[in-house]
Amino acid sequence: MRALNPPDWSAARNELRALLLTSGWHPDTIHDAELALHELYVNAWRHADCLAPRVIVVLHAHTLRVSVCDDCPDLPAPRVSEDPYEVSGRGLHLVRALTHRFGADTHKNGKATWFELDSAA
């Protein structure tokens, strides 16, 4: 049975924002990172039936990498719809547009969907 409400992602968002603010990242880039995180987090809940997706944030030099992990080994694929009024199916396209790199890796216990952003520094 699926929970009707997505899990709370605010702790992951707050930690991400605090890290990037402390590191001097531009507010627009921080907003892009938060939105991309939200899309991957909700996808893990909705499409992988993961009630508590795991978030890994790595900041190395001027590159941010955020991974959202779930227990489903199926790799995500951006959907293409002919209906311009469809209410879902655009999240991965949005992540691709907001970030510098995007992908997914399978693991023994599922997958990690990730994105990378480079700072303007």
* Token couple for 42: 């909700």
Amino acid identity for residue 82 in this structure: E
Strand partners, 65: 58, 116
Q: How confident is the model at residue 17, as a pLDDT?
A: 96
What is the rounded end-to-end Cα distance, in angstroms, of the chain? 46
Strand partners, 28: none
Report in angstroms the alpha-carbon separations of 96 from 8, 46, 121: 23, 19, 21
* pTM of the predicted model as reported, rounded to 2 decimal places: 0.86
Q: How confident is the model at residue 91, as a pLDDT?
A: 82
> What's the CATH architecture for 10-118?
2-Layer Sandwich (3.30)
Rg (Cα) of the chain, in Å, rounded? 14
Residues in the chain where the model's pLDDT stays below 70: 1-6, 78-89, 121
Task: Please write the tens of the pLDDT for every residue from 72-101.
Answer: 888 777 666 666 666 666 788 889 999 999
